[in-house]
Every structure is written in C-alpha cells, then in structure tokens.
Amino acid sequence: MTIHILGAGAIGCHVASVLRKYNHKVTLLLRSSLRVEEFNKHHNRITYRSRGNIEHISGVEAVKAKESTERITSLVVTTKSQHTLEAVSSVASQLSPSSTVLFLQNGMGVVDELLDSVWRATPPPSIIVGINRHAVERLAPYDIQHHSGYDAPESLVLAQHPASGKPLDQNLAQTIVGIPEFRATLLPWEQAYVKMIKKLLINSTINPVATILGCKNGGVLHPHAQTIMQSICEEAFELFKDDLPDETLDSIMKMILEMAYEAKENTCSTLQDIKNNRLTEIDYFNGYICKLGKQRGISTKMNEAMINLVHAKEDLF
C-alpha cells in the first residue's frame, strides 16, 4: 500500500518503521522544510531500537505537508492532539470522502474538533480511531526506542468512528491488523470506546504525575504517587462508571498500576514534551475529564490541579 503519515514523532516513526519492514510505500508529511532537511541529514532513515536490537529503516520518503499535492488515499495521523486540527487542515484538500484516515492520538476529543471544523460542510473520509498501547520514546529526531507493546495482545485497537462518511475501507485496517508487530485488532465501535476510556484513565493518571515528578513511568509506583493517582482516578471513574459496567474503581486502579509497571522504563509522552520544550496534550487528558465534569456537574478538582501544574511546568521549562 501507499500510506502517508502525518507526524514524525515517536509513534509516527514507529508506524513508518514497521510498515516499511513489510515493504509498504511510506511518505512522512512533515510540517516544515527544516524537518525535511533534518530527515535528509539522517540519511532518510529511521533508527528503530527494540529489545536490544538496532535497525536503520530506509526507503521512507519525506515531504513538507503544505507543499505536497499528491492525492492521499490512506493517512495515519500521529501528531500531538493539540496540533492535529492544524496538521489535518494542511492536507485536507488532498483527502476525499473515499480516503481513509487513521487517528492515533492520545486523549479524547480530537475527532470531534475535526468534524466541527474541517468536515463541517463536506462529507468526511472514512475515519478509524486507534487506541495505542505501544510505549515508544523519541530519543532524537527519527531515532526511537520501542519499550513495550510488542508482545502484548491488543496493543493497538482499531475501530471505525460512527461519524465516518462511508463504510469501513478494509485496506488500511487489514494491513495494520495483518502485521504481527503491531499486535492490532479491529473491533466494533462500542467495544473500542470502552478501551478508549480506559486508555484515557491511564494517561490522565500516569502522565501528569510522572511529569510533575520528572520520572519514568515506574516512578509513579511510589506509595505517595499512588495516593495522588487514586484521587485523580476517583474523579474520572465517577464520570465514566456507567460506560464501564464491568469495572470498579479498584479494578481500574489495578489496570493503571499494571500499565505503569509494564512500561516502567518508558518516559511518558507528556514528560517527553516537557523535556523537548513542547506543549503537552494535558488538555486532551485531564482537560477532557474536566470539560465533561462541568457538563455533568461532577467535581474534578484534582484533575484541574494536575492541568495547572503541568501547564506551569510548560511555562517554566
């Protein structure tokens, strides 16, 4: 297949590397000419590190997104949530209702923003939402470390968004599912939505606490850190408990702590952003929880505190 990837951070480089290993044509859509030059200086390769092995993935193309005119049939969007609206808008003219777009963002609310703006007056493409549990760290431009997710079932869950403009085009979805390294599965939206909520709860508890502490994910297993995460999770679970009828607060906390341990050597995406002087996705993690809390009249004071602390850290660092 010919697959375009919008965003070349940790997840974008991971997806591109795995697709290239299976001989798919991959084009990175980069936001500036400087990024393209940076990729050229890296010998047009992605350095992919996993389980003690280092591979240099070649054959990936890179172009400036705003200068590309090629029609896009299959697009994977891996940009940060806060940059997705601008990034997708830059290539919207190359998409059509017959295109397929896979979104691999953390947090929730991104697709809703796009439907309200980019595709408000026109039919949207086929939209697939992915819930990604692969822990990948960006060590340097086009140099990534894959920490976990390569041997766990359902490390990547795909589902067609209910607002899609047409029935699911199986090509992109089945290509991803058919590659063993992705550990991917395709589920109905209702089942995937539950997993999406659980991923939100994981991100909204581990990420801000690890970011404030300035530690790898394993650091949040400290008893005092767990106390903070418990308070964050209590507020979030109160919002989503009707969508999680088979779960309890204790079972959700167990899931979160297991994930922190599984990815203990990984630096969460929020802390990676702070270290690289970038804005974080906190408004799509705890911010989404607070927005929903205001709509439903449920207190989210601990989540609001996490947002303020992370934004303060953005400003300071």
Instruction: Answer yes or no: are the C-beta atoms of 256 and 228 closer than 8 Å.
Output: no
Confidence grade of residue 50 (pLDDT, cut at 50, 70, 90): very high
Segment holding 223, helix H or strand E: helix 223-240
Confidence grade of residue 165 (pLDDT, cut at 50, 70, 90): low
Highest mean pLDDT among 48-62, 166-180, 264-278: 48-62
Question: Which CATH number goes with the domain that contains 123?
Answer: 3.40.50.720
Instruction: Answer yes or no: are the C-beta atoms of 62 and 88 closer than 8 Å.
Output: no
Final residue belonging to a domain, choices 187, 215, 241: 187
List the strands of the sheet with 46-50, edge to edge: 53-57, 46-50, 143-148, 135-140
Confidence grade of residue 167 (pLDDT, cut at 50, 70, 90): confident
Nearest C-alpha neighbor of 14 from the set 52, 55, 75, 68: 55
Question: Do 251 and 171 reside in the same domain of the chain?
Answer: no
Domain count of the chain? 2
Final residue belonging to a domain, choices 187, 220, 240: 187
Question: Do 286 and 307 reside in the same domain of the chain?
Answer: yes
Nearest C-alpha neighbor of 12 from the set 66, 80, 68: 80
Confidence grade of residue 129 (pLDDT, cut at 50, 70, 90): very high
CA-to-CA distance for 201 and 188, rounded, in angstroms?
Answer: 21
Q: Sign of the CA dihedral 159, 289, 232, 316?
A: positive
**Strand runs (DSSP E) across 133-257, as ranges?**
135-140, 143-148, 156-160, 184-186
**Domain range spanning residue 211?**
193-315
Query: Span 25-52, mean pLDDT?
Result: 94
Which residues make Cβ contacts (< 8 Å) with residue 168, sequence separation at least 6? 126, 128, 160
Question: Do 23 and 166 reside in the same domain of the chain?
Answer: yes
Lowest mean pLDDT among 95-99, 149-153, 221-225: 149-153
Question: Do 210 and 295 reside in the same domain of the chain?
Answer: yes
Residue 166 has pLDDT above 80, yes or no: no
Query: Span 43-60, mean pLDDT?
Result: 96
Residue 126 has pLDDT above 90, yes or no: yes
Please, what is the average pLDDT of the chain? 94
Question: Do 91 and 137 reside in the same domain of the chain?
Answer: yes
Final residue belonging to a domain, choices 163, 187, 211: 187
pLDDT at 150: 87
Question: Do 138 and 222 reside in the same domain of the chain?
Answer: no
Question: Which CATH number goes with the domain that contains 254?
Answer: 1.10.1040.10
Query: Span 47-64, mean pLDDT?
Result: 96
pLDDT at 76: 98
Segment holding 116, helix H or strand E: helix 110-117
Question: Do 174 and 279 reside in the same domain of the chain?
Answer: no
Instruction: Answer yes or no: are the C-beta atoms of 19 and 99 closer than 8 Å.
Output: no
List the strands of the sheet with 184-186, edge to edge: 61-64, 25-30, 2-6, 74-77, 100-103, 126-132, 156-160, 184-186
Residue 272 has pLDDT above 80, yes or no: yes
To the nearest whole percent, how much of the chain has pLDDT over 70? Answer: 99
